[in-house]
Chains A and B, each alone.
Chain A
Amino acid sequence: MAQERTPLVSVRGVSKHYGEGAARVDALKGVSIDIFPREVVALLGPSGSGKTTLLNVIGCIIDPSGGALDLDGERVFDNGKWLRDDLRRLRLEKIGFIFQAHNLLPFLDATDNVAVALELAGHSQSAARRRAVELLDYLEIGHRRDAMPAKLSGGEAQRVAIARALANSPRIILADEPTAALDSKRAQIVMELLRKLAAEQDASIIAVTHDEKIFGYFDRVCHLRDGVIEEETRVAPAGQSV
């Protein structure tokens, strides 16, 4: 059972508020959640429910107001402060990001869009390009390795973006509406790919989504409302590939 293993992401009583006094807005109110290896989890909720804030906290992009955060077995936030000085490095090592609109750099071809993440992590240019080509081949997009983003279809671009997210072999992948810009057929392909990655890379995938058509690809769907996880729906046994 996944729950018997050490969680890759452990959020404990995390809160986040903006402003003070009458202007204070509580985006997260003591949220706790564990996400295990090979688990694909959806964060669902209306606008302002706190799902993107939770994704940003897990991604070490914004400072929580309180609580604790463990990533890959390492406590990275506690007692109101980050325990790592270099959050950029932390993101490079542990987290991959997949964006709603793929966010590929328009001036780099598919290979270099992946290689840039590797070079930022310190790989040489040649090693980065080699690994990038491997990843593109793995995601069955190798034949488009020299294409510029403007020449890629939505599905192809999203697969290149996934390759970039996987470049430094992170075990935590955060996806912000990964299928929002895709038609239903391509959305299914991308979700199948993410499930495959979770299984083969022993990774956790956490996605913010509104797309009901893809709920079947998640192990759990966490419903957020007013900064708290109101309900968790277990869709499929954790770690099971569809």
Chain B
Amino acid sequence: MNLAWREIRHNSGRFVFTGVGLGLLLGVVLSMIGIYRGMVVDALTIARTPDVDLWVVEANSRGPFAESSRIPGDTREAVARMPGVTAAGSVTYQSVEATAGGRKMRLYVIGYEPGRPGGPAEIIVGRGLGRSHFEIVADRSSKLVPGDVVTFGRDRYTVVGLTAYHVSSGGDPAAFVTLRDAQQFQAELDPAAVRLQAARGAGSGSIDTVSAVIARLAPAASVEAVAAGIARWKHLSAIAQADQEAILTGSHIDRARRQIGLFTGLLLAVSAVVIALIIYTMTMEKLKQIATLKLIGAPDRTITAMIVQQALALGLIGFFMGWALIVAIKDIFPRRIVLDTDNVTQLGIVIVAVCLLASGLGVRAALKVDPATALGG
């Protein structure tokens, strides 16, 4: 008979209660992993949305996400004429404070040219941009709905559609507008500031600048060859899509990754200590039973198996409860929680390893029990 299972069944309430407590702790570990994965996926979603092969940015810049980049708006025509380029589009990226329904919000405004690369991958509610001005497609995490009016500076934009999972690496919901609108309110100054500039004799300057030009290449075209061709224009750099993703994950969100990784490690260490203490306490409570089992002939492996199986059961109960908890409440989090099967499986393996290590203390105590202690009062 399986002694571990029989004891768990006998003390099921206590085990489940302990498992729930452990589940809350492991749920926090899972949420940390999910938040990090969410940051990576969010960052990559924005970079992958245009579905392009090359990012043309300001020379010596790693823009437009990791660093600011500003290039002339007519760069798109030059890039589009490059051999191997099948489509090109100009885009701008900027975080903007907006007002909607009396509520202030930060939006990650993406300006693009409808009909060219750079727009949202999918509209889940409403429609895409249909007019040249004053329409907006917002991410649903902004809580905006079609028909809402959003005020940027002096201009009012109407929400015509919603996308999903388009947010900046800082978590600001994306808002797609036409390139012209984006350029307009990017350059737009407060009236008092305009008067000040005029008094100083400064011109208004050109507003036809963009953050990047993105390009799709023909299947047979070499990304490196096109990038090298663009780099010959001294004021431009070209970054391949894979490199752009590497910049985002390896550099831009690296500090967040290390921060969350350290916190996750600490939580795992706390979980290990908690599991070890629970198992040790449970073992100490049944030393007389263990002594009796030894006296009636139980080998060490039976005692060890009982403690290790209980530690594993406790860890797995906690793990699955934590998992269920996070799956149930992940949409409440302000940032996206992404739990890949791979990550969950890896944490499951780590929990099993932690349980095996944590049970060592209890096993050690149990194996030191003298069978003679079963005798006597």
Contact = CB atoms under 8 A, between A and B. Distances in A.
Centre residue among A92, A97, A176 by max chain B CB count within 10 A: A97
B347 to A, nearest CB: 30
Contacts of A103: 288-289, 292, 374
A107 to B, nearest CB: 4
Contact of A99 (B292, B298, B299): B292
A99 B375 contact: yes
Given A105-B289, A108-B6, A120-B302, A176 B295 contact: no
A56 B1 contact: no
Given A99-B374, A107-B10, A176-B375, A61 B1 contact: no
Interface residues of B, number: 25
Interface stretch (A110-118, A136-144, A227-235): A110-118
Nearest to A168: B297
B285 to A, nearest CB: 11
B11 interface: yes
B1 A116 contact: yes
B199 interface: no
Nearest to A115: B1
A181 B299 CA distance: 29
Contacts of B298: 88, 120
A146 to B, nearest CB: 14
A91 interface: yes
Nearest to A60: B371
Contacts of A91: 295-297
Contacts of B371: 61
Interface in A27-62: 52, 55-56, 59, 61-62
Contacts of B372: 56, 61-62
Contacts of B7: 107
B80 interface: no
Nearest to A164: B296
B1 A125 contact: yes
Given A103-B288, A105-B289, A107-B7, A119 B1 contact: yes
A63 to B, nearest CB: 11
B15 to A, nearest CB: 11
B374 A92 contact: no
A168 B372 CA distance: 20
Interface string B1-26: 10100110111000000000000000
Contact of B9 (A61, A107, A115): A107
A177 B377 contact: yes
Nearest to B373: A61
Given A97-B295, A108-B6, A120-B302, A52 B376 contact: yes
A160 B10 CA distance: 19
A76 interface: no
Interface string B342-377: 000000000000000000000000000011101111
Interface of B: 1, 3, 6-7, 9-11, 288-289, 292-299, 302, 370-372, 374-377
Given A59-B295, A103-B292, A180-B377, 14 more contacts: A55-B375, A59-B375, A61-B370, A88-B294, A88-B297, A88-B299, A91-B296, A105-B3, A107-B6, A108-B1, A112-B6, A121-B297, A148-B10, A177-B377
